[in-house]
């Protein structure tokens, strides 16, 4: 018989994990080795048909400011009335966190795994990265905002027709104590199955 080890630490992490707003994050973010661990966790998710229906775009160092300029330019195009303060916010989006990873959902032609399952797998990838980063002591957040859904930004990211952004995952160090938010009451979302009458 295999003896799978129990880990109360993992359970505690899952039951207390919390997203952290990027504007409260500080340096340092994950270093190269830590980021590799996070990315490996992101690539180790349930994946029907072994399609790897996701890929990751990394924003580190100067790439965050460069992409910020892309966001600023595009925002000015789609919202011509935007004032300089707003454009500054867009330019600074990725500068809030030391490391940002865009998780790209990539639909692969498959008879086995429908598109829906491949998208779910990309969501699992985002969540695994959050869990891994939290276990390493980092603050993190899964955000989309307007730039996950904009065609011009998709072109700047080099996305193909079969690709879309599942999320931008921000990683940094926490500067505030962890807060809590209300969670769904289990009794409201769980029920034993009963045969239809």
Neighbours of 89 (CB within 10 A): 15
Task: Report which residue's Cβ sits closest to ligand FMN.
Answer: 19
Tokens of 10: 């993992």
Query: Minimal distance in Å, beta carbon 40 to ligand FMN?
Result: 21
Q: Is 164 in the site for ligand FMN (CB under 6 A)?
A: no
Indicate whether 167 belongs to the interface with ligand FMN (CB under 6 A).
Answer: yes
143 binds ligand FMN per the rule CB under 6 A: yes
**Dihedral (CA of 119, 154, 170, 89) sign:** negative
The minimum distance between CB 115 and ligand FMN, in angstroms, equals 16
DSSP reduced 3-state for 72 = helix
Helix 84-91 vs helix 62-78: angle between axes, to the nearest 10 degrees? Answer: 140
CB of 172 to ligand FMN, least distance (A): 14
Q: Would you call 65 helix, strand, or coil by DSSP?
A: helix
> Using the rule CB under 6 A, is 24 a contact of ligand FMN?
no
Q: Single out the residue of 76, 87, 145, 173 in contact with ligand FMN (rule: CB under 6 A).
A: 145
56 binds ligand FMN (CB under 6 A): no
Taking the CB of residue 77, how many other CB atoms lie within 10 A of it? 11
Residue 115 in contact with ligand FMN, rule: CB under 6 A = no
Q: How far is the CB of 156 from ligand FMN (least distance, A)?
A: 18
Any idea what DSSP says for residue 173?
B
Q: Is 73 in the site for ligand FMN (CB under 6 A)?
A: no
Asked if 142 touches ligand FMN (CB under 6 A), the answer is yes
Smallest gap from Cβ 193 to ligand FMN, in A, equals: 26
Residues 138, 151: Cα–Cα separation, whole Å: 31
In terms of CB distance, is 61 or 79 closer to ligand FMN?
79
CB contact set of 153 (below 8 Å; sequence gap of 6+): 70, 71, 74, 147
Residues that bind ligand FMN (CB under 6 A): 18-19, 141-145, 167, 181
């Amino acid at each position: 018989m295999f003896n799978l080890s129990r880990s109360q630490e993992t359970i505690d992490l899952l039951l207390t994990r919390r997203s952290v707003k990027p504007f409260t994050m500080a340096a340092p973010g994950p270093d190269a080795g830590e980021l590799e661990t996070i990315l490996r966790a992101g690539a180790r998710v349930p994946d029907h048909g072994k399609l790897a229906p996701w890929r990751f775009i990394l924003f580190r160092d100067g790439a965050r400011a460069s992409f910020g300029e892309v966001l600023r330019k595009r925002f000015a195009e789609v919202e011509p009335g935007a004032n300089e303060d707003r454009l500054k916010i867009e330019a600074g989006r990725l500068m809030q966190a030391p490391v940002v990873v865009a998780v790209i959902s990539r639909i692969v032609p498959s008879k086995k795994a429908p598109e829906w399952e491949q998208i779910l797998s990309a969501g699992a990838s985002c969540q695994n990265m959050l869990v891994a980063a939290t276990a390493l002591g980092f603050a993190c957040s899964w955000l989309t905002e307007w730039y996950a859904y904009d065609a011009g930004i998709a072109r700047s990211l080099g996305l193909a027709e079969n690709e879309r952004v599942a999320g931008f995952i921000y990683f940094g160090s926490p500067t505030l104590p962890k807060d809590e938010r209300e969670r769904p009451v289990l009794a409201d979302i769980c029920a034993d199955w009963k045969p239809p009458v």
